[in-house]
Amino acid sequence: MSERDRMLAGELYRPDDPELTSARTRARRLCRAYDEVPEDEPARRREILEALFGTLGGGAFLEPPFRCDYGVHIHAGDGLYMNFGCVLLDCNRIDIGHRVLFGPGVHIYAATHPLDAALRSSGRELARPVRIGDDVWLGGGAIVLPGVTIGDRVVVGAGSVVTKDVPPGWVVAGNPARLVKRTE
C-alpha cells in the first residue's frame, strides 16, 4: 500500500514520501499561479482550478489567496464561493456541496496528528475526510476539523470551530461550535 493510499484510508502515513511531496509542490505552484491571474481573466482562473481540484462544479469563484495541500482531494459542486484567504488541508477527501459560501479566512482541515506523543514524534500523520452539504454558509474565520460532516442548509458562525458533525438545517456557533437554532 502506498503512502498516499494509507493517507486516504485514514491510516498513519509518512508525509515526506516522494510522491506526496511532489503532489504538494504541484498544488502550491497551481495556487500561486491562480493567485497571480488578474480578475479580468476568468477562463485562465477556471483552467487552473480545474487542474488543481479533483472535481469542480460550474460557477466556482475563489478570491485569492487560496491555499491547499494537494487540491486533487477537493471535490466541489456548483456555485462554490470562497472569500479571501481560505485554506483547505486536503490530506483526505474534502467534499463540498452545491452553493456553498466560505467567508474570508475559512480553514478546512482533513489533516491531523496522532495524540500519542511518541507516535507523533515519529513524523507520521493522519487524515480524515470532511464533508460539507449543499447550501452551507461558513462564516469568516470558521475552522472545520478532520472527520466532520456538515449537513445541508447549515450556517456556521464567524470564528467558530466545528469539532463534531452538524445535522442539516442548523445554525452553529462558538468554540467548540454548538447548535444555536434551526435555519428553517
Residue 111 and residue 125 in contact, taking contact as beta carbons nearer than 8 Å? yes
Residue whose entry in the numeric block shows the C-alpha cell 477556471: 46
CA distance 151 to 133: 5
CA distance 105 to 125: 24
Helix boundaries (H) for 9-161: 18-36, 42-52, 117-120
Q: Would you state the cell numbers that stand for residue 164, as one nine-digit string?
A: 463534531
- The 8-class DSSP code of residue 85 comes to T
Residue 72 and residue 93 in contact, taking contact as beta carbons nearer than 8 Å? no
Enumerate the active-site residues: 113
